């Protein structure tokens, strides 16, 4: 994984990198989330999500003015249900009217989230895939 420079990374392990996407567009997840790293990924995102202005300046633009966290998942290669559940838990615990906005989620994952009912959570927004 070489996505994003060290200074732009929120989290990195052998199979996944979370880094700043583009200015004013949130964070990008590249690689795979599974049983082995789902908790660490959730912890890194939760820490950033709840930093309340104390996040490093380079990541403050990942949280929009209303407190939403935007994640670009178009480079997500794989996630198991543990990874999906970690994202859902992040949305469930967003609080204060904040939302987790998922962009570029693979259609198969959108289908799983819809069937299980997670796509209907008030603090979770799944943006339609770009065509």
DSSP string across 83-110: HHHHHHHHHHT--TT--EEEES--HHHH
Q: pLDDT band for 47, please (50, 70, 90 cuts).
A: confident
Domain-embedded: residue 84: yes
Domain-embedded: residue 103: yes
Rounded mean pLDDT, 121-126:
95
**pLDDT at 63 (0 to 100):** 59
- Residue 42: which of 102, 87, 96 has the closest Cα? 87
Q: pLDDT band for 26, please (50, 70, 90 cuts).
A: confident
**For residue 3, pLDDT beyond 70:** no
Domain-embedded: residue 1: no
Owning domain of residue 47: 6-126
Instruction: Read off the pTM.
Output: 0.84
Rounded mean pLDDT, 69-85:
94
Domain-embedded: residue 40: yes
Rounded mean pLDDT, 32-50:
91
Contact 66, 98 (CB under 8 A): yes
Domain-embedded: residue 131: no
CATH number of the domain that residue 45 is part of: 3.30.750.24
* Percent of the chain topping pLDDT 90: 59
Domain-embedded: residue 87: yes
How many domains in the chain? 1
């Amino acid at each position: 994984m070489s996505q994003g420079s060290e200074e732009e990374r929120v989290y990195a392990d052998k199979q996944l990198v979370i880094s700043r996407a583009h200015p004013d567009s949130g964070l990008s997840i590249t690689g795979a989330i599974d049983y082995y790293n789902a908790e660490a990924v959730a912890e890194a995102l939760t820490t950033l999500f709840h930093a309340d202005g104390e996040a490093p300046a380079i990541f403050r633009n990942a949280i929009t003015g209303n407190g939403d966290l935007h994640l670009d998942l178009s480079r997500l290669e794989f996630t198991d249900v543990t990874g999906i559940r970690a994202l859902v838990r992040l949305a469930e615990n967003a609080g204060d009217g904040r939302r987790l906005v998922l962009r570029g989620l693979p259609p198969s994952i959108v289908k799983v989230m819809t069937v299980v009912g997670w796509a209907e959570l008030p603090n979770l927004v799944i943006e339609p895939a770009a065509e």
